[in-house]
């Protein structure tokens, strides 16, 4: 009871501690760091790192502190998997906080100029406190929609920062690869953003597949029950579907990592393998979605086909000389990331429907202890796959 109130109250305590730690850390940095590390971009990097560290520590405390899986009561597999999940989610939060804060600092610096440096300690304390509050509350009330909503923040922040700080004002006349085809700060920021985006896609895909597996186990335990997606009973070739889906999602994440890792100039072949392979992976994933995940709504399938059609039209228009390749890549990338976010939210909706179905089923059956449909014996049946106290 009062779970949300407790989460908000604990979040305020986290705000206080993170604000104090963030302010002290920034003050120590400014007074002890060499002069070369006090120039704007390096100072902003340290600022962002302090805020990100505050948020991640707050998240880990809020998430792991409530977990009942970090014991050996049910063997070592459950706590090991839980630790891996915590580390994976920490990567998502650290990337989001760092890149988002760095972009905000760049915008504020453009507005205030050099006077902005005088407020660094106070601002670091403020941002660290906010990061601690938000991450602690989200950790206590974690679900799939929360994770999916984080992806666009750091992707947009990283690419925008790279574009604004690039020393090549005409990079967009060619393609996005040109933005990352240097050893400058802007190029490194762009490539790092792509690498972290790919890692986050793989991480979020893991939780999506886990939820689909959990829902399928419930189908097998309670045959005839109407479940998410409007179907009942078995799904034909389920293992093959999940294998293909997980492979395509993982390959799409690896493609982003490869594009960011291998710059075009020193590694043209490897760069093109990942850059040109990604559209093929995206096409197979979007076209094959009705077979891969039949539990989704038909609107999702139509949206997937529409994304492919729009990207194809943009490509044809580019071949006719109507726009640049950068525009086509930007559209394709944004459509895929948008699709991935919507896909993750669809999985989150399936999760919510599953929880409601399980609750209604156990109440109808009159069970004092719900039957566990998952393989993790430490997980309560009526909680989210991402719940902190699972």
Specify whether the backbone of 379 is left (phi greater than 0), alpha (psi in -120 to 50) or beta: beta
Which pLDDT value is given to residue 354? 79
Q: What is the mean pLDDT of residues 351-362?
A: 75
Which pLDDT value is given to residue 249? 93
Q: With bands split at pLDDT 50, 70 and 90, how would you rate the model's confidence at 372? A: very low
- Find out whether 178 and 168 touch, Cβ atoms under 8 Å: yes
pLDDT greater than 90 at residue 12:
yes
Which pLDDT value is given to residue 139? 87
pLDDT greater than 80 at residue 262:
yes
DSSP codes, 69-105: -SSSBTBSHHHHHHHHHHHHHHHHHHHHHHHHHHHHH
Highest mean pLDDT among 106-110, 161-165, 354-358: 106-110
Q: What is the mean pLDDT of residues 60-81?
A: 76
Going 10 to 344 to 337 to 307, the CA torsion angle's sign is negative
> Where is average pLDDT lowest: 21-30, 82-91, 251-260?
82-91
Residue 368, SS3 per DSSP: coil
Highest mean pLDDT among 111-115, 153-157, 261-265: 261-265
Give the N- to C-terminal CA distance of the chain in Å, as an integer. Answer: 16
Q: With bands split at pLDDT 50, 70 and 90, how would you rate the model's confidence at 126? A: very high
Question: What is the rounded distance in angstroms from the CA atom of residue 70 to the CA atom of residue 74?
Answer: 10
pLDDT greater than 50 at residue 381:
no
Question: What is the rounded distance in angstroms from the CA atom of residue 295 to the CA atom of residue 347?
Answer: 9
Which pLDDT value is given to residue 230? 47
- Taking CA atoms, 275 is separated from 11, 139, 202, 254, 270, in Å, by 42, 35, 17, 11, 9
pLDDT greater than 80 at residue 89:
yes
Summary mean pLDDT of the chain: 81
pTM: 0.78
Q: List pLDDT tens digits, range 133-151.
A: 999 998 887 766 777 777 7
Which pLDDT value is given to residue 266? 83
Q: List pLDDT tens digits, range 232-244.
A: 456 778 889 999 9
Question: What is the rounded distance in angstroms from the CA atom of residue 279 to the CA atom of residue 28?
Answer: 47
Q: How many CB atoms lie within 10 A of CB 17?
A: 17
Specify the length of the chain in residues. 390
HSE value, Cβ hemisphere, 13 Å, CA-based, for 80? 4
Q: With bands split at pLDDT 50, 70 and 90, how would you rate the model's confidence at 375? A: very low
Q: State the burial class of residue 380 (Cβ atoms within 10 Å of its Cβ: 0-12, 13-18, 19+).
A: middle
- Taking CA atoms, 8 is separated from 18, 143, 182, in Å, by 15, 16, 45
Which pLDDT value is given to residue 279? 87
pLDDT greater than 70 at residue 228:
no
Q: Looking at the DSSP assignment, which residues form a beta bridge with residue 75?
A: 73
Q: With bands split at pLDDT 50, 70 and 90, how would you rate the model's confidence at 224? A: low
Q: With bands split at pLDDT 50, 70 and 90, how would you rate the model's confidence at 128? A: very high
């Amino acid at each position: 009871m009062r779970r949300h109130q407790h989460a908000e109250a604990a979040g305020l305590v986290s705000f206080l501690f993170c604000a104090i730690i963030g302010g002290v850390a920034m003050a120590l940095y400014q007074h002890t760091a060499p002069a070369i590390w006090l120039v704007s971009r390096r100072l902003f990097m340290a600022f962002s790192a302090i805020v990100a560290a505050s948020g991640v520590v707050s998240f880990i405390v809020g998430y792991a502190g409530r977990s009942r899986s970090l014991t050996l009561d049910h063997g070592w597999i459950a706590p090991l998997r839980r630790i891996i999940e915590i580390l994976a989610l920490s990567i998502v939060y650290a990337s989001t906080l760092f890149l988002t804060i760095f972009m905000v600092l760049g915008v504020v610096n453009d507005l205030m100029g050099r006077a902005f440096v005088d407020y660094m300690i106070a601002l670091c304390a403020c941002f660290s406190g906010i990061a601690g509050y938000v991450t602690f509350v989200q950790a206590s009330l974690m679900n799939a929609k929360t994770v999916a909503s984080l992806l666009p923040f750091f992707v947009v922040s990283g690419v925008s920062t790279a574009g604004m700080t690039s020393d090549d004002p005409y990079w967009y006349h060619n393609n996005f690869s040109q933005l990352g085809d240097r050893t400058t700060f802007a190029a490194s920021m762009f490539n790092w953003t792509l690498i972290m985006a790919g890692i986050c896609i793989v991480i979020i895909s893991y939780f999506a597949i886990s939820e689909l597996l959990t829902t399928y186990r419930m189908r097998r335990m309670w045959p005839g029950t109407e479940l998410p997606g409007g179907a009942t009973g078995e799904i034909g070739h389920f293992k093959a579907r999940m294998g293909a889906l997980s492979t395509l999602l993982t390959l799409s994440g690896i493609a982003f990592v490869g594009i960011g890792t291998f710059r075009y100039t020193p590694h043209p072949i490897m760069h093109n393998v990942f850059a040109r392979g990604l559209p093929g992976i995206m096409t197979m994933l979007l076209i094959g979605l009705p077979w891969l995940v039949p539990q989704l709504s038909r609107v999702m399938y139509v949206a997937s086909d529409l994304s492919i059609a729009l990207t194809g039209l943009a490509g044809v228009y580019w071949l006719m000389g109507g726009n640049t390749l950068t525009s086509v890549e930007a559209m394709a990338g944004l459509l895929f990331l948008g699709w991935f976010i919507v896909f993750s939210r669809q999985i989150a909706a399936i999760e919510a429907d599953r929880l409601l179905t399980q609750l209604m089923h156990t109440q109808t059956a009159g069970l004092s202890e719900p039957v566990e449909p998952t393989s993790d014996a430490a997980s309560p049946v009526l909680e989210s796959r991402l719940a902190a106290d699972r």
